[in-house]
Structure 1
Amino acid sequence: VASIGMGVHDDFTGRGFGRILLGAMVDAADDWLDIKRLELTVYTDNDVAIGLYRKFGFEREGLLRAFGFRSGEYVDAYGMARLRL
């Protein structure tokens, strides 16, 4: 099992960097490290990231209520995972 995290600065979104970064991590996990389960956390309002993660086989597994404090309020996040058994 491995947990991953990534971010793309606002100035560079929409250019494919997220896809490249996630693709490299998934490739390393699958082809080099033989990791069977990849986990991540994503804010529930980050539809672009959620869509990217789904394209790579991640599925939503749970809701983490009041996970983070952002812009003066608590926000929820999803726990997502990708299994390769």
Structure 2
Amino acid sequence: MSQTQSSLPAPFLPATQSLPSSDRPVLVLRPSSYNCCEFEVVTARYMPDYRPRSPWRDISGNAISDSGSGDVIAWCYADAILSPKKVA
């Protein structure tokens, strides 16, 4: 296990060990290009059926690599904070 994977904050799961269900909202950790932090947090979805060669998409549907590193270190489900609002 790498140094980065051993220091993952809970409840993040290493992307090398498991992947989320398709099209559910997740928070993704990717390497940061900034000196002030080790990770960047991206709101995303894993969509292998939609884009098999680039399955990690941001919430707007663009590849997460469009805004920085495409390397996903870890992820966690974010349904509770990212699910669409229900209209009353």
Tell me whether the two structures share a fold, i.e. TM-score over 0.5: no
Normalization by structure 1: what TM-score? 0.30
Normalization by structure 2: what TM-score? 0.29
Normalized per residue, which structure has more helix? 1
Normalized per residue, which structure has more strand? 1
